[in-house]
Structure 1
Amino acid sequence: MKAGNNSGFGVFRATGIYVGAILGSGVLVLPAIAAQVAGPASLLAWGLLLLFCTPVAFSFAEMSRQQPDAGGIATFVTRAFGQRASVVAGYLFYFAIPFGAPATAVIGGEYIAHAAGGGHETALLAAGLILAAGFVSNAVGIRVSSKLQLLLMALLVALLAFAVAVSAPYARVENFVPFAPNGYWAVGGAASLLFFCFAGWEAVTHLAGEFRNPERDLKRATWLTLVVVGVVYISLVAACVAVLGPGLAGSSVPVAELLGKGLGSAAAPVTAMAAAVLTFGPLNTFIAGASKLGARLASDGVLPRVLARGAGPGEVPSASLAALGVMASISFALAATGILSMEFQIGAASSCFTAVTAFGLAAGVVLLRRGTAAWYGVIVAAAVMVAVLLFSGWALVVPAFLGLAAVWAGRLLLKPAAPPTARIVVPAVSPQERSR
């Protein structure tokens, strides 16, 4: 059994980290975006992604259990395909954060502004504060922020369940007709967008070394997270379709409208609270995982060495965290001035996370024991992730560019393994020859 980290977090705090990574702000806006693409049939995309995330989640949990390490998927890929391949996986995850973090914060900021009756400036101010909170919480250490996140995730699940309950009387069966107005092929396009709501399993792999007992708690936390996320996503999206009907596709704040149906003007503070918690959770976890990964990549020599500070368990990777903060701030400023759109940031981050997940699953095919249920599951999940990635369209440019940069860095910075030292073979000398 692998030794755990006695000062790390247990199964419930681990579940809070997991749920915070998966159950993010994307659910505030993506039900409407997916409905634009596939209509009520977008429910199939949510269900299929949840189904195929099950082998994804457990394969990552099993590989993390075998070797809890801050490198996460980069470590898995190293074990399976070598160090240069791991640089590609590491770059895809680390540099996706400056795209995904500002987009997440802006989604939450827009909801808060809508609830407060503010305009674009209010949304940007709220988004900036949320983004800063994600970095500040990690600056004090993941073990401290994980306690807060567990409480916030419990509050969040209660709030979303409340939203579904109060809107239930307004549900109409006819809102599911026509079920697939754009054909069932559109479900694939919706799934590629919705992966933004299911990314996160790969983020927690970088935090496995912080678990008190990874041998036991990784799988338990995975089960609990799948149940919580599955129930929340399916019930909330089904409620959005059933209650909002054709108006869902044109909504910019579907969850706020859902709450408004049942609570009227009293929905505003509940909406703002849910938006803030949904936004902070994934930011906290993804920033934590990426900053740890950046320190590990720097230790390996494929990022500047100064970023390697704080790579050990329980330490704060301050330099890597600061670098992410600078890049995310620049990306946020570009989005605030209209140079980058939220759709571009979500698409870029989602395609990078999909590529990282596919990379990690490919490593699982090599590392997991052949012929087991987990091994067959990871093969199916890897094929699905590759298919989802192909639906990313223009957004594939971002992971392609990062992949080329990683290949260049690997060739330039990684030293080839030294050839084995030649052995000098001394011929045996017989006693007779020695006496001459």
Structure 2
Amino acid sequence: MPSLHRSLSFSQGLGLLASALLGTGVFIVPELTVKHSGANALWGWGLLVFAIIPIAFAFARLGKRYPHAGGASHYVHSAFGATQGRIVGWVLLALVPVGLPAAMEMAGWFLTSLIALTSIELLAVKLTLVAGMLWVNLRGVKLSGSLQTAIAFSVGGIVVLLSILAWLDVIPPAPAEPSSFNWEQVGAAAGLAFWSFIGIETLAHLSTEFKNPERDFPLCLIIGVALVGLVYWMGSWVTLHYALGADYSGPAMVYLFDALIGGHGKLLIGLFGFLSCVATMNIYLAGSSRMLWSLGKDGATYPALGKVNRHGAPANAVFVMSIASIASLLVFSVLQVPLEELIRMANGMIVLVYLLTMLSAIRLFKGKDRILPGLGALVCLYLAYTLMSSLWCIAVVYTSIFIILKVRKPKQALMGAQA
């Protein structure tokens, strides 16, 4: 059976990961953490980066030893068997119809800050975006990687530039508010900031498409997490010292851009914020399509989903995930589900996947190699504790998939077996 093309370079992979992690949060989350925790937000970001590193290392080592488009699903399969692996695969697929509408809401916020749109017009724009991402992903991950790289480094570059200009005293610091170290506020900031690091698992689906996966995939993951953590920390630092307490209305990044560079902040921050959201959604569509392709190739769903087109892209899987995304957009638009609830549900699913992946690494690795995934598992358990209110939903999803897979024959597809 044809395989996915190995077309990703190190820089393109780094761009894909950076855009997934910077995503919807780079212009929003630093301000939220600073407003919530003040100076303790900087400690929170540092703590989070150190907490994410064991998880990133575990994913990197798993991707190096077991490169597979199934990503986390394949790792869990290798450690705990086909049923658990397929459950993780379907949980990740279920994440897209929940997470994509949330990201679309944020993209819509940036877009409507630039132009006035009615709810119907905004929905039409969202559907058009899905169609555009469908076209990009049908052309293969190389084109997608090139676009993501440009967007990711542009967005990150803006935050770094603002921080450097502020450090050079282009504008005076904002009035400082007295604060003392507080573990509770540090933990709260880290918990809020965690949402910005969701995306590590998506790069695992693309590990087989690196030109040199054993070298480039682990480097891309570790360097990407470190660089993105630095960008978020710098964004929080410049917001804390030069925007918090200043006289402005609207997002802090818009105020900082206008003050430090001289106008057009609303236009540029709105534009790049919108593009950043689109980049995040694009990599999730790419990752989920490869997950579905992997399930089709392994006989866990329709075999037709395990085929690729002449560009080496899993075309049928891309079409299915795009249709599912359109359906979810329409349903959530009608039901008007709150953004916060979508985020909690999506992150609960991701914490479950991360935890099962860490447990898989503990089982697959030997000796000292188990230490980092062990630490990662503890981090996941703590995050699960913070998401306790939404865990019932995740338990229902997991149990339902488990029962369906047990009732059907191993070779039957979850969505129906061929006659």
Q: 1:193 to 1:305 in 2, by over 3 A?
A: farther
**1:141-182 CA distance string (max 9 Å, x none):** 1122112222222322222222334455446475453357xx
TM-score, length-scaled by structure 1 = 0.83
1:321 aligns with 2:318: yes
1:288 aligns with 2:289: no
TM-score, length-scaled by structure 2 = 0.86
**Residues 24-173 of structure 1 mapped to structure 2, 5 A cutoff:** 24-35=23-34, 37-114=36-113, 116-118=114-116, 121=119, 127-168=126-167, 169=169, 170=171, 172=173
1:297 aligns with 2:298: no
Q: 2:333, 2:261 → 1: CA distance?
A: 32
Q: CA deviation at 1:5?
A: 8.3
Q: 1:320 to 1:211 in 2, by over 3 A?
A: same
2:230 is aligned to 231
Letter in 2 for 1:395: S
Q: 2:295, 2:351 → 1: CA distance?
A: 20
Q: 1:44, 1:26 → 2: CA distance?
A: 18
Secondary structure of the 2:27 match is helix
Q: 2:392, 2:32 → 1: CA distance?
A: 21
Q: 2:115, 2:85 → 1: CA distance?
A: 47
1:357 aligns with 2:354: yes
**Residues 116-265 of structure 1 mapped to structure 2, 5 A cutoff:** 116-118=114-116, 121=119, 127-168=126-167, 169=169, 170=171, 172=173, 175=176, 177-178=178-179, 184-245=183-244, 253-263=251-261, 265=263
Q: CA deviation at 1:305?
A: 4.6
Unaligned runs of 5+ in 1: 417-436
2:305 is aligned to 307
Unaligned runs of 5+ in 2: 412-419
Q: 1:124 to 1:237 in 2, by over 3 A?
A: farther
Q: 2:250, 2:264 → 1: CA distance?
A: 19
Q: 1:336 to 1:190 in 2, by over 3 A?
A: farther
Q: 2:286, 2:75 → 1: CA distance?
A: 19
Q: CA deviation at 1:342?
A: 1.4
Q: Report if aligned partners of 2:159, 2:231 keep a CA contact under 8 Å in 1.
A: yes
1:397 is aligned to 392
Q: 2:31, 2:262 → 1: CA distance?
A: 20
Q: 2:194, 2:204 → 1: CA distance?
A: 18
Q: Report if aligned partners of 2:139, 2:313 keep a CA contact under 8 Å in 1.
A: yes
Q: 2:313, 2:401 → 1: CA distance?
A: 25
* Structure index of larger Rg: 1
Q: 1:173 to 1:263 in 2, by over 3 A?
A: closer
Q: CA deviation at 1:253?
A: 3.2
Q: 1:346 to 1:261 in 2, by over 3 A?
A: farther
Letter in 1 for 2:387: S
Q: 1:300, 1:155 → 2: CA distance?
A: 38
Letter in 1 for 2:380: M
Q: 2:250, 2:365 → 1: CA distance?
A: 43
Letter in 1 for 2:345: A
Q: 1:49 to 1:63 in 2, by over 3 A?
A: same
**1:118-154 CA distance string (max 9 Å, x none):** 3564765655544443333112211221122222223
Q: Report if aligned partners of 2:31, 2:236 keep a CA contact under 8 Å in 1.
A: no
**Superposition RMSD in Å:** 3.0
Q: Report if aligned partners of 2:159, 2:234 keep a CA contact under 8 Å in 1.
A: no
1:380 is aligned to 375
Q: 2:223, 2:394 → 1: CA distance?
A: 31
**Residues 416-427 of structure 1 mapped to structure 2, 5 A cutoff:** none
Q: 1:47, 1:281 → 2: CA distance?
A: 25
**Residues 335-374 of structure 1 mapped to structure 2, 5 A cutoff:** 335-337=332-334, 339-372=336-369
Q: Report if aligned partners of 1:111, 1:123 keep a CA contact under 8 Å in 2.
A: no
Q: Report if aligned partners of 1:171, 1:242 keep a CA contact under 8 Å in 2.
A: no
Q: 1:40, 1:371 → 2: CA distance?
A: 36
Letter in 1 for 2:393: V
Q: Report sequence identity in percent.
A: 20
